[in-house]
Amino acid sequence: MEEALTPLEILQKAIKSEIEAYQFYNKLQKIVENKVLEKKLNFLKNEEKKHEKLLRNVFKNQFPKQKIRLPEKGFTPLPAIDMVEKLSLESLLEAAMEAEEVSEKFYRENSILINDENSKRLLIYLASMEKSHYQIIKTEYDLLTSFTSYEAYKKFSLEHLGP
């Protein structure tokens, strides 16, 4: 871990990161042409929204007298939303994989700083979920990069995976 955060800061940063991940997957889902990938991105987007809600509930239980003050930036290294349409799908999937790896590490490492056992379990659970998100994206990334062009990737998806 780079900086020691308090449990309050961990939760606020985690909530902000889940919001950013939701926004990223939402934007990416709108621009992809591959229906299978679009469905996977929709799933990931909805997962991030669920994570945000879980974290907000933990925050309310742990700090009932505190107001959630989201930091300017979360912990995930995602491209700015206005850059999504300017980057290649390959680059966007690479960024998403990196963000999921960073998320897994953040939750796992910071779970030791949380005293409440239920909250600790939630962070460990979220770490596992982020790892599974990485695998979903990695599968698409591997498929995409196995083709010589994006057009060949789209054609394969339409022929073999359906519209």
How confident is the model at residue 159, as a pLDDT?
Answer: 55
State the average pLDDT for the chain: 87
Q: Is the pLDDT of residue 158 over 60?
A: no
Q: Which of the two residues, 4 and 47, has the higher pLDDT score?
A: 47
Q: Which CATH superfamily is domain 7-65+78-161 in?
A: Ferritin, core subunit, four-helix bundle (1.20.1260.10)
Distances (CA, A) of 156 to 43, 65, 89, 116, 163: 22, 54, 16, 48, 11
Q: Which pLDDT value is given to residue 36? A: 83
- Alpha helices by DSSP H, the chain: 7-31, 35-62, 89-110, 117-145, 150-156
Residue 127 vs residue 2, higher pLDDT: 127
For residues 77-87, b (16+ Cβ closer than 10 Å) or e, as one string?
ebbeeeebeee
| Residue 151: per-residue pLDDT | 65
Q: What residue ranges do the domains of the chain occupy?
A: 7-65+78-161
pLDDT of 52 higher than 80: yes
pLDDT at 163 over 50: no
- Give yes or no for residue 60 having a pLDDT over 70: yes
